[in-house]
A and B are shown apart, each in its own frame.
Chain A
Amino acid sequence: MRKLTSFAAGLLFGLGLLLSGMANPAKVIGFLDLFGAWDPSLAMVMVGAIGTALVPFSLAKARQRSLLDAPMQLPSKRELDGRLVGGSLLFGVGWGIAGICPGPAIAVLLSGHWQVLLFVLAMLGGMLLFSALERRRSC
């Protein structure tokens, strides 16, 4: 049952990304071009998404188990550290270069554009690089 709801949520998430305009890199860059001709559309995406998700998340925070009796796995970290800020800076630079972030990249991966495939392979490579660096750190 939980696999089914997970699949349905993923499908809905992907449809939302396609409808929102986030899938088109030029549209994302138009939003990030604050000092040029600015397209505020993606601010509306955030308003719609956060406005809708606020209530479910406040209900979730008050529960120990999900409605389907899975453990409620909300992040517990609190500290604002260099890794959070440094990592987000790197992510933001990459996002600004290509206009692609992980969600939309997956939502259009099967559309047959080599650009998306290259981006996703490089992104997975970056994640593997992080894991390798972390393993060395812990040795």
Chain B
Amino acid sequence: MTIDWGNFTPWTALAGGVLIGAAAGLFVLLNGRIAGISGLLASLLERDAEGRGEKLVFIVGVLLAPLLWVSFTSLPALEFQSGWLGLGVAGLLVGIGTRYGSGCTSGHGVCGISRLSPRSIVATLTFMAAGFATVFVLRHLLGG
């Protein structure tokens, strides 16, 4: 392992994290809800989900964030690492996996760890390990 100092952006990463944590903290204190994106999205797919309207406006807020962002600066560049097949398979796995696992990076990784939930700590360690292993296989064993 070597550290990629050229791409390391500690301050914007930390500041972005603070905003994410503040948003999750406000959402739980004011609305009593977990800011877990996969869970919120799944509720939008059910017709009679509890608090659907409130969940929908949270997602709309996330969707519209780029519009507010571009009034200050240009959007960050997006570099995609996979073609249509990889994106399709990845999306399917993320969709089904976050439902079986009851959460994703935001619900388990941020909210769950912040409330010291053992389930979320196990989930986060598991998906991080799976992510490390997947990139290792794709980039170093198969990719070269």
Contacts and interface: CB of A to CB of B under 8 A. Distances in A.
Contacts, number: 493
Contact of A42 (B13, B35, B100, B111): B13
Given A7-B60, A119-B91, A18 B109 contact: no
Contacts of A40: 3, 8, 10
Chain B contact surface mostly: helix
A94 B90 contact: yes
Interface residues of A, number: 114
B20 A95 contact: no
Interface of A: 2-3, 5-27, 29-30, 32-42, 44-61, 65-68, 70-75, 77-80, 83-103, 106-111, 113, 115-116, 118-131
Interface of B: 1-4, 7-10, 12-35, 37-38, 41-42, 45-46, 53-55, 57-69, 75-82, 84, 86-102, 104-106, 108-115, 117-119, 122-124, 126-136, 138-140
